[in-house]
Structure 1
Amino acid sequence: MTNVDSHLRSVDLFNRRDWDAFAADLAQDCELVDQARGVTAKGPEQWIDAEKAWVGGFSDGMVTNARVVDGGATTVLLFTGSGINDGPLGQLPATGRQLNLPFCEVRQYNADGKVTRGEWYYDQVSMLVQLGHMPAPEG
């Protein structure tokens, strides 16, 4: 399986909530950095917990419109995260509002094809505005 195939496979596994298969593609020393929040998860268990936290806030949450850029040992996944906010996101209560937010996920792989590092990039202000937690910026 190529790294591009692996990244696309993770989309399917996330959408199906197949956490065991998802974790099997992660290196034991992997880390995931949520750049918008400044939080780092270390190891497969914490990575899966980060994925599950999104599902906790959006039980119907799906990765849609996925496309991957191949950089060899690095892949870049551009996608839309969509779902209804029916659960808390950290300390933010559920709003019942629809979210459609562009995301970028960068992954690095070792020689065995396991994911060693992931980074999430998304616009947290847009997310908070869509969910009604803050007003849209003026201008």
Structure 2
Amino acid sequence: MDNVATMNRMFELLNEGDIDGFGDLLTEDFVEHEETPGLEPTKEGVKQLFHMYRAAFPDLRMDAEELLPSGDKVVGRIRATGTHTGEGFLGLPATGKQVSIQLIDIIRFDDDGRACEHWGVQDELSLMQQLGAIPAVAPPA
């Protein structure tokens, strides 16, 4: 199996807004290790998360800047971009602001080439600063 190609395909589907197609690349017993309050750490929970992101950022793009395979896992350095035109994201009204943040994703694939586990981190501080929800702090002089 070419897990790098599958991970790229996952991002393509998300960029197209095809959350169900993305979900088809996850196993039924998929485990999400990135804690997302209010959502189950399952395949359905991850699909709900991406539906929420697409509602808030209809032009959401997730572009792999680097993908590193290691055994049954792929580590990715990802750039997520979008314009906040949807209501209700983290309680914020639509700002119309464009955002760009870095993410690190680690996905483990099963023997059939489907994603079965995910660990990840994203730069949420930068996201909230770009949306104006948290003031950006100037570096010391």
Which category describes the TM-score, using the shorter chain as reference length?
A: 0.7 to 0.9
Mark the runs of 5 or more structure 1 residues left unpaired by the alignment.
Answer: none
1:74–1:109 Cα contact (<8 Å) kept: yes
Determine if the alignment matches structure 1 residue 58 to structure 2 residue 57. yes
Aligned length: 138
What is the distance in 2 between the residues matched to 1:39 and 1:32? 13
Quick one: distance in 1 between partners of 2:64 and 2:112? 28
Give how far 1:138 is off: 4.1
- Which is strand-richer, 1 or 2? 1
Query: Where do 5+ consecutive residues of structure 2 fail to align?
Result: none
Do the aligned partners of residues 67 and 39 (structure 1) sit closer, same or farther apart at CA in structure 2, a change above 3 Å counting? Answer: farther
* Residues 1:76 and 1:34: Cα distance change in structure 2 (over 3 Å): same
Q: Secondary structure at the match of 1:34?
A: coil
Name the counterpart of 2:4. Answer: 4
RMSD of Structure 2 on Structure 1 (CA)? 1.9
State the percentage of identical aligned residues.
Answer: 24
Structure-1-length-normalised TM-score: 0.88
CA-to-aligned-CA distance 1:93-115 (integer Å, 9 cap, x gap): 22111101111111011222221
* 2:121 counterpart residue number: 121
What corresponds to 1:27 in structure 2? Answer: 27
Q: Which amino acid aligns with 2:107?
A: R
Aligned-partner SS, 2:33: strand
Question: Which residue is 1:101 aligned to?
Answer: 101
Q: In 1, distance between residues paired with 2:113 and 2:120?
A: 19
Q: CA shift at 1:91, angstroms?
A: 1.7
